[in-house]
Amino acid sequence: MADTNPTTEKAPTTEKPSRVDTVGFVPASHAASLASVVQNDDTSHSTDSLSCDGQSPQPKHKTSAQKKVAVKRAVDGWTIATLEKGVNGLAAEFLKARKDVDQREISAFRAGTFQGKNRFGDIPCIDCTRVVLKNAHSDYIHANYVSSPRHPKRFICTQAPMETTCIDFWRMVIQEKAKIIIMLCDFFEQNFSKCAFYYPIEKGQVLQFENYEIGSREVRDIRPDDDPNGGTIRATSLRIRSTSGSQKVMHYYVREWPDRKTCSPRLIVKLLTEVRSSDRPIVVHCSGGVGRAGTLVAIEVLLEKLIAGESGLCHKRK
């Protein structure tokens, strides 16, 4: 997130603002884009979620008319509640959600630290949702499943591969039968290494990691249709070959998203539109796997909840 200077918030009035008045505080194009994204997705999905106890709620099915009403109510409610909170309110909510992690919940992470498998020592990997590597010398990789309304293992948020973990990364991709990888950092940022060169960036190039051969088959640039200057997504079609067979993977590389800052909203919408149909876990990483990666995943989870017509996504200030 971009650093912002706190401002004094106006005390909320007792009168509930109208949707027109509330949306007037943000660009109309942004509100229209959100409504368009949500309304144009007419697929139905379960409302599964993943927790450490493995419990998931039963899916709820609605008629087409009921869904449209529920979606409109969800979008309107979320928009009003979020704008009522303001930036300061959202920041306070974020800080409240953070908590100290019980050391007993990150035993694999602490062991991984001594194996040189963690990029940062202050970004823990929770045991109950971590990806466990199978048929490997070590079962540890700094990666966690993240649920969404579509699937309890909708995403895998992970740190950027290091020289010592590239092989683990590709083991995970093959094991989880992932079809999509999203890279939200650059290889170097402000003269610091943020990510190892774990995939071939040029068409026809091949990289080898032990018995995994990663080849680049096609490279193309994707831009938002309504914002040609909003940035570029580099899409690379990869084929991974190993002793267990071969697998096709699409790699999406976003360079125009600086660390702790923002990029074009339309670029994010375009990216999510490209990957939303995936029926396998979507692998997402920035450098640490929690900043830009967490933001992208949070946006998609919110959109999926709005598409499902879920209410109560935001608690209004009292």
Q: Which of 157, 185, 286, 314 is catalytic?
A: 286
Query: Which one, of 119, 216, 214, 204, lies nearest residue 163 by Cα?
Result: 119
Whether 263 sits among the annotated catalytic residues: the reply is no
Burial of 286 (0-12, 13-18, 19+ CB in 10 A): buried
Sheet of 206-209, strand order:
143-146, 155-158, 282-285, 180-183, 245-254, 233-242, 212-222, 206-209
CA 235, 239, 240: angle at the middle one, nearest 5? Answer: 125
| CA dist 39 → 14, 21, 284 (Å) | 31, 22, 25
| CA dist 3 → 6, 82, 260, 290 (Å) | 9, 19, 7, 17
Asked whether the beta carbons of 297 and 286 are under 8 A apart, the reply is no
Q: Which residues of 60-98 are buried (b: 16+ CB within 10 A; e: fewer)?
A: eeeeeeebeebbbebbebbbbbbbbbbeebeeeeeeeee
Instruction: Give me the residue label for tokens 């200077």.
Output: 5
Q: From CA 121, how far away is CA 112, in angstroms rounded?
A: 10
The 3 state secondary structure assigned to 121-135 is CCCCCCHHHECCCCC
SS3 305: helix
Helices (H), 189-291: 265-275
User: Active-site residues: which are they?
Assistant: 286
